[in-house]
A and B are shown apart, each in its own frame.
Chain A
Amino acid sequence: MKTYTYTEKKDTRSGFGAGLAELGRTNPNVVALCADLIGSLKMDKFIEENPERFFQIGIAEANMMGIAAGLTIGGKIPFTGTFANFSTGRVYDQIRQSIAYSGKNVKICASHAGLTLGEDGATHQILEDIGLMKMLPGMVVINPCDYNQTKAATMAIAEYDGPVYLRFGRPSVPIFTPADQKFEIGKAIKLTEGSDVTIVATGHLVWEALEASKALHEAGISAEVINIHTIKPLDEKAILDSVAKTRCIVTAEEHNHLGGLGESVARVLAQHNPTPQEFIATNDTFGESGTPAQLMDKYGLNSDAIQNAVKKILKRK
Chain B
Amino acid sequence: MPNIKELTDLTTQVRRDILRMVHKVNSGHPGGSLGCAEFFVSLYQELMETKDGFDMDGIGEDLFFLSNGHISPVYYSVLARSGYFPVEELNTFRLIDSRLQGHPTTHEGLPGIRIASGSLGQGMSVALGAAQAKKLNNDNHLVYSLHGDGELQEGQNWEAIMYASAKKVDNLISTIDLNQQQIDGSTDDVLPMGSIKAKFEAFGWTVLDIEKGNDIEAILEGMKEAKSLTGQGKPICVLLHTVMGNGVDFMMHTHAWHGKAPNDEQLKEGLSQNPETLGDY
A positions within 8 Å CB-CB of B:
34, 36-40, 56-60, 62-63, 85-86, 90, 118-124, 286, 288-291, 294-295, 298
Q: Which residue of B lies closest to A61 (CB)?
A: B154
B183 and A37 within 8 A (CB): yes
B182 close to A289 (CB less than 8 A): no
**Residue from the list B96, B153, B191 in contact with A288, Cβ < 8 A:** B96
**Distance between A289 CB and nearest chain B CB, rounded to angstroms:** 4
Contact B94 A60 (CB under 8 A): no
Candidates B27, B101, B121, B183; contact of A122 at CB < 8 Å = B101
Q: Which residues on the B side are within 8 Å of A291 (C-beta)?
A: 96
B42 within 8 A of A: no
Q: Which of B102, B151, B155 contacts A119 (CB 8 A)?
A: B102
Chain B: interface residue count, which band?
A: 20 to 34
* Nearest CB of chain B from residue A55's CB, rounded to whole Å: 10
Q: Which residues of A contact B69 (CB under 8 A)?
A: 123
| Residues of chain B with a CB closer than 8 A to A36's CB | 150, 153, 182-184, 190
A300 to chain B, nearest CB (A): 14
Q: Identify B95's interface contact among A37, A59, A90, A290, CB under 8 A.
A: A290
Q: How far is the CB of A33 from chain B (nearest CB, A)?
A: 12
Determine whether the beta carbon of B150 is less than 8 Å from that of A58: yes
Cross-chain contact A124 with B119 (CB below 8 angstroms): yes
- For B184, the chain A residues whose CB sits under 8 A away are 34, 36-39, 56
Contact (A59, B105) CB under 8 Å given A36-B150, A289-B94? no
State the CA gap A122–B184 with chains docked (Å): 23
- State in angstroms the CA–CA spacing of A90 and B108 once bound together: 23
CA distance A290 to B155 in the complex (A): 31
Q: Is the interface of A mostly helix, strand, loop or mixed?
A: loop
Chain B neighbourhood of A59, CB < 8 A: 120-121, 150-151, 153-154, 182, 191
- Provide the residues of chain B in CB contact with A63, threshold 8 Å: 155
Is B103 on the interface with A (CB-CB < 8 A)? yes
Give the contacts of B62-77 with A (CB-CB under 8 A).
69
Contact for B119 among A34, A56, A90, CB less than 8 A:
A90
- The smallest C-beta distance from B88 to any residue of chain A, in angstroms, reads 18
A85: chain B residues at CB < 8 Å are 119
- The answer to whether A57 and B96 touch across the interface, beta carbons within 8 angstroms, is no
Please indicate the chain A residues that have their CB under 8 angstroms from the CB of B28 in the complex.
Answer: 119
Q: Which A residues touch B252, using CB under 8 A?
A: none
Determine how close the nearest CB of chain B comes to the CB of A89; give it in whole angstroms: 8
Bound Cα distance A123, B115 (Å): 11
Q: Which residue of A lies closest to B98 (CB)?
A: A289
Known: A57-B191, A124-B118. 12 other contacts (CB 8 A): A40-B183, A118-B27, A120-B102, A121-B118, A123-B103, A123-B118, A289-B98, A289-B102, A290-B96, A290-B97, A294-B96, A298-B96
Q: Is B51 an interface residue (CB 8 A)?
A: no
Q: Are B25 and A119 in contact (CB under 8 A)?
A: yes
Max chain B C-beta neighbours (<10 A), residue from A40, A290, A298:
A290
In the assembly, what is the distance between CA of A36 and CA of B185, in Å? 9
- Are A62 and B119 within 8 A (Cβ)? no
Residues of B within 8 Å of A289, CB to CB, are 94-96, 98, 100-102
Q: Which residues of A contact B97 (CB under 8 A)?
A: 288, 290
Contacts of B182 in A (CB 8 A): 36, 59
Tell me if B180 counts as interface (CB < 8 A to partner A). Answer: no
Instruction: Give the CA-CA distance A99 to B115 in the complex, in Å.
Output: 31
Would you call B116 an interface residue if the criterion is a C-beta within 8 Å of the partner chain's C-beta atoms? yes
Q: Could you list 9 examples of A-B contacts with CB < 8 Å?
A: A63-B155, A119-B28, A121-B101, A122-B116, A123-B103, A124-B102, A288-B96, A289-B95, A289-B102
- Docked pose: A244 CA to B103 CA in angstroms: 47
A59 CA to B149 CA in the complex, in Å? 10
